[in-house]
Amino acid sequence: MARKESTAEQQSVRVLKVGERVRHILSELLARQEVHDDVVSAANIAVTEVRMTPDLRNANVYVKPLLGLGEDEIVAALRKNTAFLQKEVAKRLGLKFAPKLKFRADESFDEAGRIEQLLRDPRVARDLSKDDDSD
Protein backbone atom coordinates (compact mmCIF):
# COMPACT_ATOMS: atom_id res chain seq x y z
CA MET A 1 0.00 0.00 0.00
CA ALA A 2 1.36 3.41 -0.94
CA ARG A 3 2.18 5.80 1.83
CA LYS A 4 0.05 8.95 1.96
CA GLU A 5 1.94 12.12 1.25
CA SER A 6 1.45 14.79 3.88
CA THR A 7 1.81 18.49 3.36
CA ALA A 8 4.52 20.46 5.11
CA GLU A 9 1.86 22.16 7.23
CA GLN A 10 0.39 18.85 8.40
CA GLN A 11 3.85 17.53 9.19
CA SER A 12 4.79 20.62 11.17
CA VAL A 13 1.56 20.35 13.18
CA ARG A 14 2.44 16.73 13.96
CA VAL A 15 5.95 17.76 15.04
CA LEU A 16 4.48 20.40 17.36
CA LYS A 17 1.96 17.95 18.82
CA VAL A 18 4.60 15.30 19.50
CA GLY A 19 6.89 17.92 21.04
CA GLU A 20 4.09 19.03 23.33
CA ARG A 21 3.34 15.43 24.34
CA VAL A 22 7.02 14.87 25.15
CA ARG A 23 7.00 18.07 27.23
CA HIS A 24 3.98 16.86 29.21
CA ILE A 25 5.50 13.42 29.79
CA LEU A 26 8.79 14.88 31.01
CA SER A 27 7.00 17.42 33.21
CA GLU A 28 4.98 14.64 34.78
CA LEU A 29 8.07 12.49 35.39
CA LEU A 30 9.88 15.39 37.04
CA ALA A 31 6.87 16.52 39.10
CA ARG A 32 6.33 13.01 40.45
CA GLN A 33 10.05 12.74 41.20
CA GLU A 34 10.36 9.50 39.27
CA VAL A 35 13.98 10.30 38.41
CA HIS A 36 16.13 8.73 41.09
CA ASP A 37 18.73 11.47 41.31
CA ASP A 38 19.24 13.69 44.35
CA VAL A 39 19.85 16.86 42.33
CA VAL A 40 16.78 16.36 40.13
CA SER A 41 14.53 15.31 43.01
CA ALA A 42 15.53 18.28 45.15
CA ALA A 43 14.68 20.86 42.48
CA ASN A 44 11.42 22.04 40.98
CA ILE A 45 12.12 21.93 37.27
CA ALA A 46 9.92 23.36 34.53
CA VAL A 47 10.14 21.91 31.05
CA THR A 48 9.49 25.10 29.11
CA GLU A 49 9.72 23.81 25.55
CA VAL A 50 10.53 20.74 23.49
CA ARG A 51 11.66 21.26 19.89
CA MET A 52 11.47 18.16 17.75
CA THR A 53 13.31 17.59 14.49
CA PRO A 54 11.00 16.98 11.50
CA ASP A 55 11.78 13.24 11.55
CA LEU A 56 10.83 13.08 15.28
CA ARG A 57 14.11 11.34 16.14
CA ASN A 58 15.71 14.15 18.15
CA ALA A 59 14.27 16.49 20.74
CA ASN A 60 15.87 19.55 22.29
CA VAL A 61 14.39 19.87 25.77
CA TYR A 62 14.60 23.31 27.36
CA VAL A 63 14.40 23.31 31.16
CA LYS A 64 14.42 25.98 33.83
CA PRO A 65 14.62 25.49 37.61
CA LEU A 66 11.71 27.37 39.15
CA LEU A 67 13.92 29.13 41.68
CA GLY A 68 16.61 29.73 39.07
CA LEU A 69 19.32 28.23 41.27
CA GLY A 70 21.80 25.58 40.18
CA GLU A 71 20.77 25.59 36.56
CA ASP A 72 24.03 24.07 35.29
CA GLU A 73 23.98 21.29 37.90
CA ILE A 74 20.37 20.44 37.08
CA VAL A 75 21.02 20.26 33.33
CA ALA A 76 24.06 18.06 34.01
CA ALA A 77 21.97 15.76 36.24
CA LEU A 78 19.26 15.50 33.58
CA ARG A 79 21.87 14.66 30.96
CA LYS A 80 23.20 11.95 33.26
CA ASN A 81 19.69 10.47 33.52
CA THR A 82 18.86 10.78 29.81
CA ALA A 83 18.68 7.02 29.22
CA PHE A 84 16.00 6.57 31.90
CA LEU A 85 14.00 9.56 30.66
CA GLN A 86 14.21 8.41 27.02
CA LYS A 87 12.99 4.96 28.00
CA GLU A 88 10.02 6.40 29.90
CA VAL A 89 9.14 8.81 27.09
CA ALA A 90 9.31 5.97 24.54
CA LYS A 91 7.07 3.79 26.68
CA ARG A 92 4.43 6.50 27.13
CA LEU A 93 4.64 8.07 23.68
CA GLY A 94 4.03 4.95 21.59
CA LEU A 95 5.97 6.01 18.50
CA LYS A 96 7.97 3.71 16.27
CA PHE A 97 11.20 5.45 17.28
CA ALA A 98 11.93 7.03 20.63
CA PRO A 99 13.29 10.56 20.28
CA LYS A 100 16.82 11.17 21.50
CA LEU A 101 16.61 13.80 24.23
CA LYS A 102 19.10 16.64 24.54
CA PHE A 103 18.68 18.79 27.63
CA ARG A 104 19.50 22.48 27.49
CA ALA A 105 19.04 25.41 29.85
CA ASP A 106 16.26 27.75 28.76
CA GLU A 107 17.71 31.22 28.43
CA SER A 108 14.63 32.91 26.97
CA PHE A 109 13.63 34.30 30.38
CA ASP A 110 17.07 35.88 30.82
CA GLU A 111 16.81 37.38 27.33
CA ALA A 112 13.34 38.75 28.07
CA GLY A 113 14.66 40.35 31.25
CA ARG A 114 17.52 41.93 29.34
CA ILE A 115 15.11 43.39 26.76
CA GLU A 116 12.84 44.68 29.53
CA GLN A 117 15.85 46.37 31.16
CA LEU A 118 16.74 48.03 27.85
CA LEU A 119 13.19 49.31 27.38
CA ARG A 120 13.30 50.91 30.85
CA ASP A 121 16.39 52.91 29.93
CA PRO A 122 15.49 56.66 30.05
CA ARG A 123 16.93 57.26 26.57
CA VAL A 124 14.77 54.52 25.05
CA ALA A 125 11.69 55.68 26.98
CA ARG A 126 12.28 59.20 25.62
CA ASP A 127 12.45 57.87 22.05
CA LEU A 128 9.34 55.79 22.54
CA SER A 129 7.39 58.75 23.94
CA LYS A 130 8.32 60.79 20.83
CA ASP A 131 6.76 58.08 18.66
CA ASP A 132 3.56 58.17 20.75
CA ASP A 133 3.29 61.97 20.40
CA SER A 134 3.44 61.83 16.59
CA ASP A 135 0.25 59.70 16.33
Q: What is the predicted pLDDT for the residue at 84?
A: 94
Q: Would you say the C-alpha torsion 7, 9, 12, 18 has a positive or negative sign?
A: negative
- Taking phi over 0 as left and psi of -120 to 50 as alpha, with beta for the rest, 129 belongs to alpha
Which residues, given as ranges, of the chain have pLDDT below 70?
A: 1-11, 68, 108-113, 128, 130-135
Contact 19, 51 (CB under 8 A): yes
Strands 45-52, 58-65: pairing is antiparallel
DSSP string, 28-75: HHHHTT-S--HHHHHS-EEEEEEEE-TTSSEEEEEEEETT--SHHHHH
Angle at 62 between CA 61 and CA 63, to 5 degrees: 115
**Verdict on whether the full-model pTM lies above 0.85:** no
Beta bridge partners of 59: 52, 101
Q: What is the predicted pLDDT for the residue at 41?
A: 86
For domain 8-106, the question of CATH label 3.50.50.60 is answered with: no
Task: Provide the 8-state DSSP code for 85.
Answer: H
